[in-house]
Amino acid sequence: MEVCLLLGKGNPEWNYSAPHGAGRLMSRTKAKANLSMDEYRETMKG
């Protein structure tokens, strides 16, 4: 397993915050309805 810890530079115009959760292919509600944990585990196998 590989883990990366990163430190963002921040932006004073945005109160030094960073967006997260952007770029989702589907909403969390749709993902819960259409995906299963077993499918997720299968796709994560190396």
pLDDT at 14: 76
User: What is the chain's Cα-based Rg?
Assistant: 16
Give me the pLDDT at residue 36, please.
94
Locate 5 and state its tokens.
């810890």
Query: Residue 38's pLDDT is what?
Result: 93
Could you read off the pLDDT of 1-46 as tens digits, one per residue? 898 887 777 778 877 776 666 667 888 899 899 999 999 899 998 7
The length of the chain in residues reads: 46
pLDDT value of position 33: 94
Q: Is this prediction's pTM over 0.85?
A: no
CA–CA dist 14, 26 (Å, integer): 26
